[in-house]
Each structure stands twice: as C-alpha cells, then as structure tokens.
Structure 1
C-alpha cells in the first residue's frame, strides 16, 4: 500500500502525539520541580498550599484528608471527577480555564511533551499502574 504525503504526515503526527502522550518520567521529575512550591509527592509527603499528589492518578478529586479544597474542586468531585490522564492533562494545561474558581494559581503547562512527562512522573507514585484516559482504576481512594 502506498501512502499519500497527506496520509503519511497524519500518521507521523499521530505517532508523535502517542509518543508524547506516554511521557518520560525522568524528564517529568525535572519538570515537576515547578510544582514543589505547592505540592509534595512520595513517601512522607504532606499537604502544603496544594494537596499531596502521591497516588493522584486514578484517584477521585478532592479526597486528600485534611486538605481544604476550593468550592469548584469540591463540586467537580461531587460530579465524579477522577484524575485520569485526560483530566490531569486538561487541568494542568490551564487550571483556571479548566476549573473556574480553583485555588490553584499556577498558570499551566503549555508544552504537550512537558505535560506528558509530568503525568508520567505522577504515574510512578500511583500504585505502579499507568492509567490511560478512560481506563478504570483499581487505585484505592485516599482520604
């Protein structure tokens, strides 16, 4: 089968997007440094200005015990928001646009590769199971 230039370009773009969507946890660890002003992750992490992010992938929103969430986040949680890859990508790319009223003042991560890397890094702290958008999660609910 011979590919037309347009089809070949579309396939290459789709492949590049899929590779970017997987992300690199090591690069994500570096990129996560900008998150450390407000969040902790890993063993012994505690909530700061933002909630602990250990186990966030696959976890229902607003479930870190003792953290005071915004009304917007609490309402999203009541609506069934679960932090899968798609929800994290949407929120982290522009938190205030994705969830008007959120307390998160961070402007967002604009580079798709960096966003994928950070989500891949978060995955490493989420029961070892990489979760794609729409997949069911067996991760326990924290809080």
Structure 2
C-alpha cells in the first residue's frame, strides 16, 4: 500500500512540477539510442530488457516472456502503469522509483529528453 501511495505522489508531483513541454519524436528517437543497448521499441521483441513497443498504458512487469525482477513485478501488482507521468518519474531515476529493479541505467536527467523519448515511444507503438 505504501508503494502505491509513494508512486502516486511521485507521479502527481512530476506532472505538476513539469509544465507541458512540446514533444519531438524525432529528437526522442536520437535520445533513445541510449536505450537501444537493452530495449527495442519499434518491434514487439524482448532483448536484454523487455520490448517497449506498446509500453504506454502497460502494467509494469507484465510484458510476456520477459523475466522481470521481483521488484518490477511487485510494482505492477501494486498498480503501476506506464503512463506519461509515471514514465517521466521512472526515466529520471529508475532505481529510485523501483528499488530492486534489474535496470542499471542511471536515468535521463534532461526533462526535454524524457518528454521526447515518450513522444518517440508513443509514435512507434501505434
């Protein structure tokens, strides 16, 4: 229950503290090159990390045929869904949001990069 409350507060705080920014999917594709070592977004295929094709709206820890950490599965069971505010929080610092995740990426620090990556994910998931 505490996890759900914490994630809700983080999502709301991120959404409120970051005014709407223009989304640029082409710029997001360039930023996504940092993610391509482990993830693919334009196909529904797992690599080292789960496929991010169709990630928007997906419950955390649920992509088929991927061995998620117990922490990511628990996050999904507690109600975490990958929407824009939640992805924004996660992409800033994955290990802070989901303690125990297997994802070792330190996160994206630039808000515009995150906004653009999310735009790219939305575009390739259509």
Aligned position for 2:6? none
Scaled by the length of structure 1, the TM-score of the pair is: 0.72
Note the 1:80-119 alignment, pairs <5 A: 80-119=79-118
Measured in 2, the distance between the counterparts of 1:98 and 1:71 equals 14
Note the 1:110-129 alignment, pairs <5 A: 110-127=109-126
Measured in 1, the distance between the counterparts of 2:113 and 2:23 equals 8
Computing the radius of gyration from Cα coordinates, the structure with the larger value is 1
1:27 aligns with 2:27: yes
Measured in 2, the distance between the counterparts of 1:56 and 1:116 equals 15
Note the 1:10-49 alignment, pairs <5 A: 17-18=19-20, 20=21, 22-43=22-43, 45-49=44-48
Scaled by the length of structure 2, the TM-score of the pair is: 0.82
Measured in 1, the distance between the counterparts of 2:113 and 2:94 equals 15
Q: Which runs of 5+ in 2 are unaligned?
A: 1-15
Q: CA deviation at 1:59?
A: 1.1
Note the 1:56-67 alignment, pairs <5 A: 56-67=55-66
Q: CA deviation at 1:63?
A: 1.6
Measured in 1, the distance between the counterparts of 2:50 and 2:88 equals 17
**Secondary structure of residue in 2 paired with 1:92:** helix
**Secondary structure of residue in 2 paired with 1:81:** coil
Q: What's the CA shift string for 1:60-99, capped at 9, x where partnerless?
A: 1112111000011000011111100011001111001111
Measured in 2, the distance between the counterparts of 1:108 and 1:74 equals 20
Aligned length in residues: 110
Runs of 4+ residues over 2 Å off in structure 1: none
Measured in 2, the distance between the counterparts of 1:92 and 1:70 equals 17
Q: CA deviation at 1:17?
A: 3.1
